[in-house]
Amino acid sequence: MSTNVSWDEQGNWNATGQWGTRGSMGGKLDLAHWQTRLDELRARHHVPAASLAILVGGDVHELASGVLHRTTGVEATTDSVFQMGSIAKVYTATLIMQLADSGRLDLDAPVVDVLPEFSVADPGLTRAITTRQLLSHTSGLTCDFTYDSGRGDDCLAKYVEAAKGVALDCPPGEALSYSSIGYNVLGRIIEVLTGKVWDEALKDLLLTPLGLDHTMTLPEEALRFRAAMGHLGEPGQDPDPAPSWDLMPRSAGPYGRVIATAGDLARLARMHLAGGVAQDGTRILSEETVALMQRRVVDSPDKWSVSADGWGLGWTLYDWNGIQGYGHDGASIGQYGYLRVVPSAGVAIALLTNGGGARELYAELYRELLAELAGVTMPDAFTPPAKPPVVDFAPLVGTYRREGVIITVTERDGVGHMLYEFVDGMKDFSEPLEIELVPVTERVFAGTGVGAAFSEGYMPVIFSELLDGTGCVYIGMRCGPKVA
């Protein structure tokens, strides 16, 4: 995937893609129209507030709609900040690639060469894990290990120590399994190599050079701005404010807590689109490194949960009928973010929301925006066919386990069922979920009756195999190996 837009020496935007630089396939971007659509779709899908930023022709256009808090009625504005959840991983990956660019980090060397204290539950596999694998979610390290190591500057060091005994989802290098632990290990690598805590390194090496003055990592910093409150509720209804603004500990920063405006998120994307150069001409990454981050490392068995066709080094990769793109999704307590970038069109779109049917809003709005601005046809929503195929379910029956979750798959009268139970540190997350599996293909199923704990539509459930033939099931891009 090549980058084909850049800044010239005078700070002007150059575009060599097939589309015009002004949006609307060469026409002027109609901001009034998109404000109306944002207002309409936000209300239709019961999203309290949404902030939208559109990068086209090198310019960032920002829109906002709704209220940040349904109880206080505070209006959303373009300078309002939202929690972006896992979009934080893009920031951490960018910092890591700066260190690789400078020659201070070898992506293919064992992580223990930088962090001698790093280890995993199987000691024999510790040296097999590399930084490149952490970036591409192919290290085998799991996701749902939330550990509150306190508010101190040593929180990441304590987190990495506490994660030593957590079982791998799969052997390193064998398969994709979405990993938050891996990104916290990356955050700790950043601290060791820069001599700064992750938060400070992010500000000094990325936020300040890019002029992202509405981007931060800590709750007390967010209080300086109009901050969105997350909302929770049943699908199809107006949600209520969440019981807490943020439940994540400070140690979640590298994988899950960057707070920003949609405009600042689009400006980060603009640097990547411009081959690693900030708008003022400051070089953040080399052009080769920017391209490397967008190069596919691994295919995704789960192409539905976040529309992921594959993964690069930090980026989720998309293939829209031959038009290549990249981006990332994120979620925290009642707040959801979406970033999509189309290099051939020089277009990036960032949407931040605070509850309700956020994914439905994203899908409908982005389908229209990407079609008009970049000629992209997004895939339809994930649903089972009207006449599901008849499949042999017997080989899939069994127990699957990964950290925090036990998944029991059974067959009842020819119908597949799944019991999804939260255990370990996740045991209080939710009651066990009873899910019926509707066949889409022989290995892909649509999970029903999941409710707001996962999504408002069908949950993709994908059965696959590891290299040694061990069966596994993917839910939310997380690999759960079969244990019985």
How far, in Å, CA of 391 to CA of 410, rounded?
14
8-state DSSP, 355:
S
Q: Token pair of 460, please?
A: 């993709």
Residues 183/255, Cβ–Cβ less than 8 Å: yes
Helix H or strand E encompassing 153: none
The single residue listed with the structure tokens 């129209």 is 33
How far, in Å, CA of 5 to CA of 373, rounded?
15
Residues 169/206, Cβ–Cβ less than 8 Å: no
Residues 263/60, Cβ–Cβ less than 8 Å: yes
Q: Among 273, 329, 289, which Cα is nearest to 94's?
A: 289
Helix H or strand E encompassing 319: strand 316-320
Phi, psi of 319 (to 5 degrees): -130, 105
Residues paired with 434 in a beta bridge:
419
Is residue 332 among the annotated active site residues?
Answer: no
Pairing of strands 240-241, 316-320: unpaired
How far, in Å, CA of 204 to CA of 206, rounded?
6
Helix H or strand E encompassing 151: none
How far, in Å, CA of 99 to CA of 453, rounded?
38
Return the active site residues. 86
